[in-house]
Amino acid sequence: MPANLSPEYMAAEQRFKAARATREKLEALEEMLSTIPKHKGTEKMQGDIKRRISKLRSEAQKKGGAAHALPLYHIDKEGAGQVALVGAPNVGKSLLVKKLTRAQPEVADYPFTTRLPTPGMMVFENVQFQLLDLPPLSEEFMESWVPTLVRQADVAVLVVDLSAADLLEEVENTRALMEKHRIVLGPPPAAGLEPGWVSKRTLLAANKAELPDADDNFIALKDLFGDRYAMLAVSAETGSGLDEFRRAVFDLMGVVRVFTKAPGKKPELDAPYVLRRGSTALNAAEHVHKDFAAQLKFARIWGHTRFDGQMVQRDYVLEDGDIIELHI
């Protein structure tokens, strides 16, 4: 099976080959792992990248000392996906993360309170997503490593302040700052991306919806950016819209939850397999056990779009919430 490597992967591989410092090599390898297509044809490549990452981390820990340790901003991915929160100073990213997770980022009413990334796990029904509270983006100052974490994240949330006098300019400035680092927030341009560029599926979260004029400002936002972003008005202060935020992140992530059952037994509903949207019964078999895929004859499906227990072939495209019974 061909690997079909993306331009983003190829650019990261070139950075890895040119890197000399351990930190630079790790950053490039992690980007390679996050951008490589996930299918059977790249399994060996994914394993090789993971082994190289593990080896470099071990070497860094053995050498010890600040010069060789992993950078303070390094965050391991956890859960069903990683979400980078980006935005201008004082838009309320830290309070959002605090309300949506058990993390305790510092929250204050002065700019640049956040200096290091703060991860927290957000629960949506039966899955968890990792939110990253990042330092603010500003023309005056931006931590040099922030774009690296945005690149590595699965999706981005562009947080804006609905009470800001320069609200529309705030959105454009944030987009422009990311594009200086070859990151497009939202869909790629019609002409496609040049080598080294990435586009991130992006939710625009309009925060501080409880303040005066927020409704009118949100309408203006939708008029200008509604064709580019999924958009949601929220209030981290009151909790309004946070349930919708969880659902919107799940939808943006582009995944489905699939449950398994053994023939003649009840389904295992405790922890779903989280697969990319468009995954097939064969892909599910690969996740359950590598040998299942080669031996899979057919599957039976329980779900919203099929009769209970209906037999389907290996190329059946799974829907969110499907229960699958594999027959080998």
Over the stretch 175-190, which tens digit does the pLDDT of each residue have? 999 999 999 999 998 8
Which residues have CB under 8 Å from 129's CB, separation 6+?
79, 80, 81, 82, 83, 121, 122, 249, 250, 253
Q: What b/e sequence results for 277-309 when a residue is b if at least 16 CB atoms lie within 10 Å of its CB, and e otherwise?
A: eebbbbbbbbeeeeebbeebeebbbbbeebeee
Looking at residue 112, its pLDDT comes to 52
* Distance between CA atoms of residues 291 and 1, nearest Å: 17
HSE value, Cβ hemisphere, 13 Å, CA-based, for 126: 13
What structural domains does the chain harbor?
Answer: 7-63 (no CATH), 82-253 (3.40.50.300), 256-327 (3.10.20.30)
How much is the pTM? 0.76
* Distance between CA atoms of residues 314 and 297, nearest Å: 7
Over the stretch 227-258, which tens digit does the pLDDT of each residue have? 999 999 999 999 999 999 999 999 999 999 99
Q: CA 190 from chain center: how many Å?
A: 23
Looking at residue 221, its pLDDT comes to 94
